[in-house]
Structure 1
Amino acid sequence: MSATGRRDDEAVQRYAEQFANVLVDSGWMRMPARAFATILGSETGRMTAAELSEQLQASPAAISGAVRYLLQLRLASREREPGSRRDIYVVQDDFWYESMMRRDHQLVRWEEIIVQMMENAGKGSESQRRLRATLGFLEFIQEEVEGISERWIKRKAEIDAEGNG
Structure 2
Amino acid sequence: MPGGRLTYEDRQRIAAALSSGLSYAEIARRLGRPRSTISREITRNGGPGHYRANHAQQATSWRARRKPGLPHATPVSADTHGRDPEEVRAFEEGFAEMMIQTGVPAMMARILVCLFTCDSGGFTAAELVTRLQVSPASVSKAVNWLEQRGLLRRERGDRRERYLIEDHVWYMAWQASLRSMSMWTEFAQRGAAVLGTATPAGARLHTTSQFFQLVTHDMTQAAEHWRLRLSTTR
Q: TM-score, normalised by structure 2?
A: 0.57
Mean Cα displacement is larger for which, 8-17 or 44-53? 8-17
SS in 1 for 2:196: coil
Matched with 2:41 is none
Quickly say closer, same or farther: Cα 1:73–1:101, change in 2 above 3 A: closer
**Matches of 1:29 and 1:149, distance apart in 2:** 25
| 8 A Cα contact 1:13 1:41, kept in partner | no
| 8 A Cα contact 1:49 1:88, kept in partner | yes
Mean Cα displacement is larger for which, 26-35 or 67-76? 67-76
Is structure 2 residue 169 aligned with structure 1 residue 98? no
| 8 A Cα contact 1:77 1:89, kept in partner | yes
Which protein shows a greater Rg? 2
Shift of 1:13: 3.8
Q: What aligned pairs does 1:15-94 form with structure 2 within 5 A after superposition?
A: 15-81=91-157, 83=158, 85-94=159-168
Matched with 1:143 is 217
Quickly say closer, same or farther: Cα 1:7–1:155, change in 2 above 3 A: farther
RMSD of aligned C-alpha atoms? 2.4
What CA deviation, in whole Å up to 9, does each residue of 1:79-123 have, x standing for no partner? 244x4x232111122111111112212222222211111012234
**Matches of 1:54 and 1:11, distance apart in 2:** 21
**Matches of 1:115 and 1:7, distance apart in 2:** 53
Unpaired runs of 5+ residues, structure 1, are none
| Greater RCO (CA < 8 Å, at least 6 residues apart) | 1
**Matches of 2:197 and 2:130, distance apart in 1:** 59
Unpaired runs of 5+ residues, structure 2, are 1-80
Is structure 2 residue 232 aligned with structure 1 residue 152? no
Quickly say closer, same or farther: Cα 1:147–1:24, change in 2 above 3 A: same
| 8 A Cα contact 1:13 1:38, kept in partner | no
SS in 1 for 2:213: helix
**Matches of 1:13 and 1:154, distance apart in 2:** 35
Across the two proteins, how many residue pairs are aligned to each other? 154
Percent identity of paired positions between Structure 1 and Structure 2: 31
Matched with 1:130 is 204
What CA deviation, in whole Å up to 9, does each residue of 1:3-49 have, x standing for no partner? xx844454334323322222222222211110111111111101122
